[in-house]
Amino acid sequence: MASIFLIGPMGAGKSTVGRALANKLSYDFYDSDREIEARCGVDIPTIFEYEGEVGFRDREAAMIDELTTLPNTVVATGGGAILRDANRICLRNRGHVVLLSVELKEQLRRIGFDTRRPLLHTDDPEARLRSLMEERAPIYQELAHVEIATDARRMHHVVTKILRHLKSKGLVPA
């Protein structure tokens, strides 16, 4: 059975959906950002403060490389994990990539004022989210095996759609 890697913008529901999906599949669940924090002993904003985005992305690349080698896992990646070629290669070649997408309005509702997200420490979170999506959307689309929208949908509905897709591809038992 293939490991499942969830990609998509921040606020798309990767961690929430990932936990529920892993539970349904009896897989282990990992959130790459939480794993980085556990290893470092500090939160991501602190890593950004001391090491900058490049330092964080270095840690993220090492974590993605490690987590994508584990069998029978669901991994929720950070929104920017797809920016590095090495991460895209690991994700694409070691499992099945599911893009969770979300409209900007819903994304803003979910995370627009979340102080734990360093990339949103700006006077205009909406403009920042729009800019990030313009940069990242083509990469998400190219990397994903399937895209599932999470806008205003219950988590159960999203998990069911993913499971239906995985079964149709023979990646999990029917």
C-alpha span between 11 and 126 (Å, rounded) = 13
% of the chain at pLDDT higher than 90: 72
Give the contacts of 103 (CB within 8 A, at least 6 positions apart): 149, 151
* Range from 27-41, 82-96, 140-154, 156-170 carrying the lowest mean pLDDT: 140-154
Structure tokens at 130: 């729009």
Structural domains for the chain: 4-168 (3.40.50.300)
**φ/ψ bin of 151: left (φ > 0), alpha (ψ from -120 to 50), beta (otherwise):** beta
**What's the mean pLDDT in 119-136?**
80
State the pTM of this model: 0.92
- Asked if pLDDT for residue 121 goes beyond 80, the answer is no
